[in-house]
Structure 1
Amino acid sequence: MLEILDGIPLDKSRHVTPHRSLNGARAHLWEQTVLPLRTRGQLLWSPSNTGPLAVSRQVVTIHDVVPIDHPEWLNPHFAAWCRFLTPKLARRVARVITDSEFTKSRLLDTTGVAEDKVIVVPLGVDARFCPQTIEDVESAIQKLELPTSRYVLSLGSLEPRKNLGRLLCAWEVIYRGLPEDVWLVVSGAKGNSLVFQDVPELESLPSRVFLTGHVPDEHLPSLYAGAMAFAYLSVYEGFGLPPLEAMASGTPTLVGNRASLPEVVGDAALMVDPYDIEAIAEGLRSLIEDDALRALLRQKGLERAAQFSWDRTAEQTWRVLQDAAER
């Protein structure tokens, strides 16, 4: 939680946190009971989906409404709490910030919040995601012990909505017709078991699939930049940072054509139906085999990613906070 003090510059605002780390029900209880007492009537910014119902002088950032749209993907208790809290919170607070027009539309449809209270502030891409030197890419490949330097990368938390199962099925369809040194590299850690359901697709993998597990931050830019292509077939995203990071790294990108991803990538990525295994397979094959397509998407991706920056996100967020404080 970040408390914004009226009339005081951003660097004078203060963070409000529990005295010790809290998880689960205890964290929610602290948020709903202790936090309101500590805001002292000043404007509160709650930057991650939840906030205290007792505080109306508040701006809350809601990144997506997965618990409302797809509770089956989540821990039942977590989903039930969010389904109770989100509509009431959205209607009560002064402003709601969200990452995409898609999430704004879902908030309007599911919570009854007034449209003029919801402000879209797109996320940014870190400057460290950019084309890398050959030496840096080779170093990352060695440190991560990848089986090849020719790989399609899939990266994200391993949870149901990321659609890993259909990606693996599509890979099963095409890998035998590809050069033997082309592999699918899947990176990411399992989602929090307190929030996300298990991912059974990891139990049986096709040939030439390599799991890296969690990738340290220092290796991510080179892992992105070294890939022949990046595949992100998520069926639901409030924004979707990984495709943007891949494009900023100069890597041709394949995404699902659902939720917020089309508005994030524009015409700078190849889009397919994430529920259609044959379409995914054909998209993968095209990116691997078509040098001209990869070159075109590389250039378009770099141009598209340059339109997003964290500085712009911060500026737009601060304007919303200032407006809420003045009102």
Structure 2
Amino acid sequence: MRVDQLVPAFHQGDAIGDTAFHIKQFLRCRGFQSEIYCLDRDEGLEKHSTLFSEFFPPASTDITILHFALPSPLTAKFITFSSKKILIYHNITPAHFFLPYSQEMAHIAQVGREEVKLMAPHVDVALADSEFNRLELEEIGYRRTEVFPLFIDFAKYQRPADPFFQRLFRDQRVNILFVGRIVPNKGIDDLIRTTFYYKKYISPLVRLIIVGKTTSLPAYYQSLIKLVDDFYLRPEEVVFTGHITDEQMYALYQTADVFLSMSEHEGFGLPLVESMIFDLPVIAYEATAVPYTLGGAGILLRTKRVDYVAELVHLVATQENLRQKIINHQRQRLKDLRAEGLEEKLLRVIKDLT
């Protein structure tokens, strides 16, 4: 029996790509025929995937899995297959976040939402990588939904961190870290306002480090640069790293004092988990999937008041007893995540469909 996966874009080091690759390897070990089909892929992934143009229509006894995070031509093809169909839903950011900055991205997000609704009557099982996403699918009308978190390759975080980045950011400043796309739903403007308050009223020795591609939405990135200038924050106080290597990112997790997220929309929030892996205390705004991913760990914010947030960041960065208490809770959450048993859950779903 074939159990194939469809991934619109197959990227190296991408959470969705890593999950698809892990599923493929696991299924093959269990005796299934399994391949990843994609419309586009990174150079070097040719031996791990096949272009969708070579996809042969499945039989009714086969299973086809679609990873969905963006609209693509795969959606229309997927619903026509005679095979049993599994959707793995990674969430679509609502269009209203993009409207002030890009009509094109807002349109893409809206089309994505429409495609999710279109698939509902055709999908046998819908898996979501957080309870927040599962509830969204249930509300849309999917018949059977289950939580199926992202695969996390814990072993890769054991690789050595970049020593230059460790030295570069290890000084007297309090390092506030955020990792994620530079897009409006991430609330990066709130991070900048918090940093301004911290500098003016708590200590000038502070640094906000933002890790993520600055080219995702140029208009939004330019608005952030203007905000930094309006607050007279210097380049050494707000650092946009752009795209960096995994080893450089590990160094930043190790040298940061606090991971701060003011994001208003997350489908899962992998950097929250990565912070816990590196024993970095997490403070995050309580929105969408964030409380489900943290699972009682970290500190959840119900306000974005900059004075409250900045003072809390200072406490966590400087009070060792508080830091250790947070870290202990985060370590327990990691144990729970390691014990999710994703492979067995997928096998059960496949068995139910055959």
TM-score range, shorter chain: 0.7 to 0.9
Shift in Å at residue 2 of structure 1? 1.5
Shift in Å at residue 36 of structure 1? 7.9
Distance 1:112 1:302, change over 3 A: same
Task: Tell me which amino acid in the other structure corresponds to 1:121.
Answer: F
Pairing 1:137-286 to 2, within 5 Å after superposition:
138-142=163-167, 145-146=168-169, 148=171, 150=173, 151-190=175-214, 192-193=216-217, 198-199=220-221, 200-205=223-228, 206-207=233-234, 208-273=237-302, 275-286=304-315
User: Is residue 2:147 matched to residue 1:120?
Assistant: yes
Shift in Å at residue 307 of structure 1? 1.7
Say which SS state the counterpart of residue 336 (structure 2) adopts: coil
Once residues 310 and 15 of structure 1 are traced to their aligned partners in structure 2, the CA distance between those partners, rounded to angstroms, is: 26
Work out whether residues 158 and 188 of structure 1, in 8 Å CA contact, stay in contact via their aligned partners in 2. yes
Other-structure match for 1:25: none
Q: Deviations over 1:219-250 (max 9, x none)?
A: 32232122111112211111111011101111
Pairing 1:36-115 to 2, within 5 Å after superposition:
38-41=57-60, 42-49=62-69, 51=75, 52-55=78-81, 57-67=84-94, 72=99, 75-109=105-139, 111-114=140-143
Shift in Å at residue 69 of structure 1? 7.8
Q: Deviations over 1:52-86 (max 9, x none)?
A: 22136210111124247867487133123213211
Once residues 20 and 296 of structure 1 are traced to their aligned partners in structure 2, the CA distance between those partners, rounded to angstroms, is: 44
Name stretches of at least 5 consecutive residues in structure 1 with no aligned partner.
Answer: 23-29
Shift in Å at residue 132 of structure 1? 8.9
Work out whether residues 126 and 142 of structure 2, in 8 Å CA contact, stay in contact via their aligned partners in 1. no
Once residues 168 and 19 of structure 1 are traced to their aligned partners in structure 2, the CA distance between those partners, rounded to angstroms, is: 37
Pairing 1:284-303 to 2, within 5 Å after superposition:
284-303=313-332
Q: Deviations over 1:138-162 (max 9, x none)?
A: 54324xx447374121111111111
Q: TM-score, normalized by length of structure 2?
A: 0.74
Shift in Å at residue 176 of structure 1? 3.1
Once residues 224 and 245 of structure 1 are traced to their aligned partners in structure 2, the CA distance between those partners, rounded to angstroms, is: 8
Distance 1:271 1:184, change over 3 A: same
What is the aligned-residue RMSD (CA, Å)?
3.4
Work out whether residues 256 and 272 of structure 1, in 8 Å CA contact, stay in contact via their aligned partners in 2. yes
User: Is residue 2:333 matched to residue 1:304?
Assistant: yes
Distance 1:149 1:244, change over 3 A: farther
Q: TM-score, normalized by length of structure 1?
A: 0.79
Other-structure match for 2:18: none
Shift in Å at residue 269 of structure 1? 0.5
Q: Deviations over 1:163-204 (max 9, x none)?
A: 0001111111112344544322111113645xx973321334
Q: Deviations over 1:107-160 (max 9, x none)?
A: 222x2222xx11111234332476898xx5754324xx4473741211111111
Higher relative contact order (CA 8 A, sep 6+): 1
Other-structure match for 1:26: none
Distance 1:305 1:21, change over 3 A: closer
Distance 1:70 1:317, change over 3 A: farther
Residue in structure 1 matching 2:35, options 7, 10, 15 = 15
